[in-house]
Amino acid sequence: QSALTQPPSASGSPGQSVTISCTGTSSDVGGYNYVSWYQQHPGKAPKLVIYEVSKRPSGVPDRFSGSKSGNTASLTVSGLQAEDEADYYCNSYAGSNIFYVFGTGTKVTVL
Amino acid sequence: QVQLVESGGGVVQPGRSLRLSCAASGFTFSNYGMHWVRQAPGKGLEWVAVIWYDASNKYYEDSVKGRFTISRDNSKSTLFLQMNSLRAEDTAVYYCARVRDYRDSSGKGGFDYWGQGTLVTVSS
């Protein structure tokens, strides 16, 4: 199973928005509404910021939003803040044989 | 508060074995499915294995099937990963992670708590 495709990098100035895409297939992203997004700062464990395509865990700012269209999911971070600078990974359920596939990761830089 | 603490990592020669542990606290461990996820140095995340809350089901990523075994001791709130026949490509930081929704051991709703990770280096 191949990793989901994400752009290697994305950037924006403070206060701006950045959107990260996550492209898979009909066997993963397109087949299930079980896409999650994780934020990872250097040397730290990943943190869940979006689950089930567009839901936010408690404590995650509403600046983080998720969506999906066909085989592509997206994460948008609005009102960029310095602490949003991190790596972001998407993850999709891919059925009971493969279970999960992660994205290639996107480094977000706040200019 | 929820805590997951991994241990057992280290440097091991190719073909040898290692057993990782993940000590859980701050929640009812026996109610939750648990996963192992790894990250090779400078690389992305890779799902490794899942175990149901009651150990009734276990599933593995293809490259570790037959070599790795996930298990748990609910009486000690501890998750394990027995890794045999280790290869250089198994070198990674290994994280244990809890499913967000206790009603779904498979974790389709995401993993809400992660340990700090333990580094496994396979090298001669």
| pLDDT at position A110 | 96
pLDDT of B24 > 80? The answer is yes
- What is the least distance, in Å, from the CA of B124 to any CA of chain A? 25
Contact B61 A36 (CB under 8 A): no
Mean pLDDT of chain B: 96
Chain A residues bordering chain B (beta-carbon distance below 8 Å): 1, 3, 32, 34, 36, 38, 40, 45-48, 50-52, 57, 89, 91, 93, 96, 98-105
Name which of B44, B110, B117 is nearest A48 (Cβ-Cβ). B110
| pLDDT at position B105 | 86
pLDDT of B44 > 90? The answer is yes
- What is the least distance, in Å, from the CA of A73 to any CA of chain B? 15
- What is the least distance, in Å, from the CA of A38 to any CA of chain B? 9
B4 - beta bridge partners? B24
| pLDDT at position A84 | 97
Nearest CA in chain A to B45: A102
Average pLDDT for B95-112: 92
pLDDT of B1 > 80? The answer is yes
**Which amino acid, one-letter code, is at B63?**
S
pLDDT tens-digit profile of B68-79?
Answer: 999 999 999 999
> Which chain B residues touch A54 with a CB distance below 8 Å?
none
pLDDT tens string, chain A, 111 residues long: the values are: 689 999 999 999 999 999 999 999 999 999 999 999 999 999 999 999 999 999 999 999 999 999 999 999 999 999 999 999 999 999 999 988 878 999 999 999 999
Rg (CA), chain A: 13
Contact A45 B112 (CB under 8 A): no
Decide: helix, strand or coil at residue B61. coil
| pLDDT at position A98 | 79
| pLDDT at position B35 | 97
Decide: helix, strand or coil at residue A83. helix
Average pLDDT for B35-56: 96
| pLDDT at position B106 | 87
- In angstroms, the CA A81 to CA A73 distance is 22
Task: Judge contact between B94 and B6, C-beta under 8 A.
Answer: yes
Chain B residues bordering chain A (beta-carbon distance below 8 Å): 37, 44-47, 50, 59, 61-62, 95, 100, 106-112, 114-117
| pLDDT at position A96 | 82
Average pLDDT for B97-104: 93
Give the other-Cβ count within 10 Å of A43's Cβ.
Answer: 8
Task: Judge contact between A68 and A33, C-beta under 8 A.
Answer: yes
